[in-house]
A and B are shown apart, each in its own frame.
Chain A
Amino acid sequence: MIEPDHSYAVEARGISKYFGGVAALDGVDFKVHWGEVHALLGENGAGKTTLSNILAGIYRADSGEIAVDGLTHEVRTPAQAIEAGIGMVHQHFKLVETMTVAENVHLGWPDTPTLVSQRVLVDRTNHLMEEIGLHVDPTAKVWQLSVGEQQRVEILRVLARGAQILILDEPTAVLTSHEARDLFKVMRDLVSGGRTVIFISHKLNEVLEVSDQITVLRDGVHEVTRSAEGATPRELARLMTGEERTLEVEHREITGETVLQLEGVTASNDRGVVALSSVDLVARSGEILGIAGVSGNGQTELAEVISAMRRVDGGTITVDGEDVANGLVRKVTDLGVGHIPEDRIGVGIVGSASVKDNAVLRHYWTEGLSSGVTLFRQAVVDFATRLVEVARVQTRSITATAGQMSGGNQQRLVARREALLATRVLIAVHPTRGLDVLAAQEVQTAVIGQRDRGAAVLFISDDLDEVLLMSDRIAVMYEGRIMGIFDRVDADREAIGLMMGGHTLEEAMAK
């Protein structure tokens, strides 16, 4: 028996966990001090979720022991974990959508009075929110809330049950960058109130921004625990992937001809509200034109009007001089326009169809794959086999359904498929969102490769660092307008940030 050492909130020693004989965790040590945000960093499959599930009593470790606040605990069930003060917010929320916030907070909570009126529930919830400093309308139904607000309800639920140690499993994967900022503030408030937050992520920038300590896991092995101060993305990426792996993007002078041209393009979003107002843009062969902006400022609609998925209310869009506005999707595809859509599962993939059918989804009707009436099945198989190989998609077979692949593999498939179609224009919308470092770099490499083959690339992302890394020129979008366009060399991070928030070019330069 070791002397209780109260300086650690959690001290896990030699944790191993096997799934069918394969080690998901292999003798991992994990020590977290009270009052810190401790990031657990690692690529997909590194074992982050498994480790947190063990801390939260959902899985049992095959070996190793866990001390909470210096006392060894048997954490065998979620209830025992809560008793020890550990609460976890999962990657997928567990809220009842048709119930109110107050009801959800109280659901399955032993402290809830047995007979209780809606008013009492709301009062109790208000009280809690005051105490914790998290605010959501307690009378709203969960389905009415944004993802960020739903997440707050989840956090509230866990904290209400007395959790002092909060585990957040990839909380930012579902958030816009704005919502993520809000969450970071909440996390900082919680630790300054004395609680401890374990923050799981595979995004280096976020981890560096919000955490005090960083633990890196790789393939179920503890790599390092170090202070966030002085850590560099490059070093962390190397620890995560085990290789020196930072993308070097070469930028050359652009001499190519104009391929894509938008003039005075106006369009509405699905709710009929103006989403693009009088957008002028030119993209030339062999360049990446980055579109910086906070999500929801017209980027989605911009991508959709170009690929003829959305009608324009005015203006012209040409690809190699051919008018494509309000045209047919197939004509645009035929002109050599590829589109990595924002919603890859909702739009880019048919989950119930095979990997091979998804490989040809966007051009099965073209010569070589079909006669117009029949599909050439062997040609489809050949194409899909090749695509899976170059895109390094991990799937058991090309006849397995696309839906059973991980998100990273689905995006590898979509990104390469569209890059191959994009002989002239490639539109990439948040193409690396939610991907681990390796998959993200593969997608970025595919995009750069297409640029080097002479395509004009429109690279849309709300991650400014990524836009700055990838682009030859950068346009800033705000409320459906282009606020300004920079050459890469003149791009000033500050100024772009201000313009993303709605400042004009003049204002941004003056500051």
Chain B
Amino acid sequence: MSTYRLERRLEVDTKKQALTRVAGALIAMAVAGLVLLLTGRNSFKILFDGLEAIFGSQRGLEGVALRAIPILMTALAVALSLRMKIWNIGSGGQFLMGAFAALGVGIHVNGPGWLVLILMALAALVAGSLWILVPALARAYWDVNEIITTLLLNFVAAQLVTWASIGFWRDTEAAVIQSTKRVPYRLAELPGTDSLTIALLVPFVIALVLFWIFRSTTIGFEIDTIGGNARAAAFAGINVRRRILLVMLCTGAIAGLGGMLQLSAPGARQLGPGYEAQFGLTGFIVAALAGGAMMGVLVGGTFIASMFFAGLVLQTKGLSVYIIFGIYGLILTGVALGEMAARYRLVRVGDAVSSERVAS
């Protein structure tokens, strides 16, 4: 007559946790499939269509990659801040401001393409970090919570871009009312692809650099220490304020650069409403589910991008958008539950064997 109870693990095995997340997603997909079957839809066909959309052609894979770039950029930005337990909810705004600044350079500066593109990238990095400067100073010097400040600046950025697209940078030659001029420069194409540019390499390079920083450098050590216990960090002689500023400005810069990269995507060489298609929010979900692990962000971001792409194709095949959103939600919940599941284990009460306890 023993009962069972959940017990928190003292130590979480990150490899196991990766597996439980995958299991969570698979279980969620199975549940979704079952529900669809019960409502008279052929879930096997839907699954097949979805996989076919992604893996069936080069266009499918390129479509996923195109969606992955902006998501990965914002996700990496957020993941960096999460390491310090800072919640950058404003990566969408920084993304937009990066695009805004890059566009400004792109339409006003004439010169060799490579030079203008470098200037555009620099402008995006600076603009992204400027957009988080005030929240960063407020957090570092007056301990003002960054969640609200960064969130609110998203709306300001959206307004600014709307203004540009119907006002000072409006594309007067096109029939569209809300769109800016187009940037005449585009990043170099990736050889062997139809639509991809070297933009695809950027998030992977950044992820590798961040991974190395957190694995092997003193700065990474300091950021993790502050994230773990800011008072202990001060005791270790770390200049906590300076590190907060550094991390927050870098997170803004990465998101801003993401905005610039997106200008090279097909059909997105100008700014308008919908340019920031929830990339900030999606990136946030990816970073949070990955728990700030850079390699986890790469996997998770690519997964979410494939999911979105498959959903888009299924929509054109007549599957209702509500069902698709329902499936998205179910899968993400499955991943989140899988992440949690690895933190707990089932024990029998009565003869609780706590082999993990270390007596003092």
- Closest Cβ of chain A: how far from B30's Cβ, in Å? 34
Please measure, in the bound complex, the distance between the C-alpha atom of A447 and the C-alpha atom of B44, giving whole angstroms.
70
Contact of A348 with B232 at beta-carbon distance under 8 Å, contacts A365-B218, A375-B216, A375-B218 already known = yes
Contact of A374 among B216, B231, B234, B352 (CB under 8 A): B216
Contact of A341 with B235 at beta-carbon distance under 8 Å, contacts A352-B228, A370-B218, A401-B11 already known = yes
Does A361 lie within 8 Å of B236, measured CB to CB?
yes
Contact of A19 with B353 at beta-carbon distance under 8 Å, contacts A309-B234, A362-B235, A377-B216 already known = yes
Does B229 lie within 8 Å of A45, measured CB to CB?
no
Does B216 lie within 8 Å of A353, measured CB to CB?
no
Interface residues of B in 43-102 (CB under 8 A from A): none
Please measure, in the bound complex, the distance between the C-alpha atom of A339 and the C-alpha atom of B232, giving whole angstroms.
12
Which residue from chain B places its CB closest to the CB of A349 in the assembled complex?
Answer: B232
Which residue from chain B places its CB closest to the CB of A334 in the assembled complex?
Answer: B237
Residues in B with CB closer than 8 Å to A405 are: 358, 360
Please measure, in the bound complex, the distance between the C-alpha atom of A21 and the C-alpha atom of B236, giving whole angstroms.
42
- Closest Cβ of chain B: how far from A493's Cβ, in Å? 31
Residues in B with CB closer than 8 Å to A362 are: 235-237
Residues in B with CB closer than 8 Å to A44 are: 359-360
- Closest Cβ of chain B: how far from A34's Cβ, in Å? 32
State whether the Cβ of A351 lies closer than 8 Å to any Cβ in chain B: yes
Contact of A328 among B216, B227, B237, B358 (CB under 8 A): B237
Contact of B225 among A18, A60, A357, A373 (CB under 8 A): A357
State whether the Cβ of B174 lies closer than 8 Å to any Cβ in chain A: no
Contact of A404 with B218 at beta-carbon distance under 8 Å, contacts A20-B354, A329-B236, A396-B358 already known = no
Q: B-facing mask of A383-414, CB < 8 A → 1, else 0?
A: 00000000000111000110011111100000
Q: A-facing mask of B211-247, CB < 8 A → 1, else 0?
A: 0000111110100110111011111110000000000
Contact of A406 among B218, B231, B360 (CB under 8 A): B360
Interface residues of B in 132-151 (CB under 8 A from A): none
State whether the Cβ of B173 lies closer than 8 Å to any Cβ in chain A: no
Does B232 lie within 8 Å of A364, measured CB to CB?
no
Does B353 lie within 8 Å of A353, measured CB to CB?
no
State whether the Cβ of A510 lies closer than 8 Å to any Cβ in chain B: no
Contact of A330 among B10, B231, B237 (CB under 8 A): B237
Does B351 lie within 8 Å of A357, measured CB to CB?
no
Does B237 lie within 8 Å of A329, measured CB to CB?
yes
- Closest Cβ of chain B: how far from A3's Cβ, in Å? 33
State whether the Cβ of A449 lies closer than 8 Å to any Cβ in chain B: no
State whether the Cβ of B355 lies closer than 8 Å to any Cβ in chain A: yes
State whether the Cβ of A233 lies closer than 8 Å to any Cβ in chain B: no
State whether the Cβ of B350 lies closer than 8 Å to any Cβ in chain A: yes
Please measure, in the bound complex, the distance between the C-alpha atom of A350 and the C-alpha atom of B233, giving whole angstroms.
8
Contact of A20 among B221, B228, B351 (CB under 8 A): B351
- Closest Cβ of chain A: how far from B350's Cβ, in Å? 7
Which residue from chain B places its CB closest to the CB of A45 in the assembled complex?
Answer: B359
State whether the Cβ of A372 lies closer than 8 Å to any Cβ in chain B: yes
Residues in B with CB closer than 8 Å to A21 are: 353
Does A18 lie within 8 Å of B351, measured CB to CB?
yes
Please measure, in the bound complex, the distance between the C-alpha atom of A352 and the C-alpha atom of B225, giving whole angstroms.
9
Contact of A373 with B217 at beta-carbon distance under 8 Å, contacts A396-B358, A436-B360 already known = yes
Does B358 lie within 8 Å of A364, measured CB to CB?
no
Residues in A with CB closer than 8 Å to B353 are: 19-21
Q: B-facing mask of A18-49, CB < 8 A → 1, else 0?
A: 11110000000000000000000000110000
Please measure, in the bound complex, the distance between the C-alpha atom of A401 and the C-alpha atom of B8, giving whole angstroms.
14
Residues in A with CB closer than 8 Å to B218 are: 364-365, 370, 372-375
Interface residues of A in 452-469 (CB under 8 A from B): none
Residues in A with CB closer than 8 Å to B351 are: 18-20
Please measure, in the bound complex, the distance between the C-alpha atom of A409 and the C-alpha atom of B10, giving whole angstroms.
15
State whether the Cβ of A2 lies closer than 8 Å to any Cβ in chain B: no
Please measure, in the bound complex, the distance between the C-alpha atom of A489 and the C-alpha atom of B33, giving whole angstroms.
83
Contact of A351 with B228 at beta-carbon distance under 8 Å, contacts A365-B218, A374-B218 already known = yes
Residues in B with CB closer than 8 Å to A352 are: 227-229
Q: B-facing mask of A339-369, CB < 8 A → 1, else 0?
A: 1010000111111110001000110110000
Interface residues of B in 317-359 (CB under 8 A from A): 350-356, 358-359
Please measure, in the bound complex, the distance between the C-alpha atom of A330 and the C-alpha atom of B234, giving whole angstroms.
10
Does A19 lie within 8 Å of B232, measured CB to CB?
no
- Closest Cβ of chain A: how far from B360's Cβ, in Å? 3
Does B235 lie within 8 Å of A347, measured CB to CB?
yes
Contact of A407 with B216 at beta-carbon distance under 8 Å, contacts A20-B355, A349-B229, A357-B225 already known = no
Interface centre among B11, B227, B229, B234 (most CB of A within 10 A): B229
Does B358 lie within 8 Å of A406, measured CB to CB?
yes
Please measure, in the bound complex, the distance between the C-alpha atom of A408 and the C-alpha atom of B358, giving whole angstroms.
11
- Closest Cβ of chain A: how far from B268's Cβ, in Å? 38
Residues in A with CB closer than 8 Å to B219 are: 373
Which residue from chain A places its CB closest to the CB of B217 in the assembled complex?
Answer: A374
Residue contacts A-B, CB under 8 angstroms, 7 given: A44-B360, A45-B359, A333-B237, A350-B232, A351-B229, A375-B221, A401-B11
Other contacts beyond A373-B217, A375-B216, A405-B358: 5, CB < 8 A: A20-B353, A350-B233, A374-B218, A395-B358, A401-B10
Q: Measuring CB to CB, which residues of chain A are less than 8 angstroms from any residue of chain B?
A: 18-21, 44-45, 60, 309, 328-330, 333, 339, 341, 346-353, 357, 361-362, 364-365, 370, 372-375, 377, 394-396, 400-401, 404-409, 436, 439
- In order of increasing CB-CB distance, the 8 nearest A-B pairs are A20-B353, A406-B360, A329-B237, A408-B360, A350-B228, A330-B237, A404-B10, A45-B359
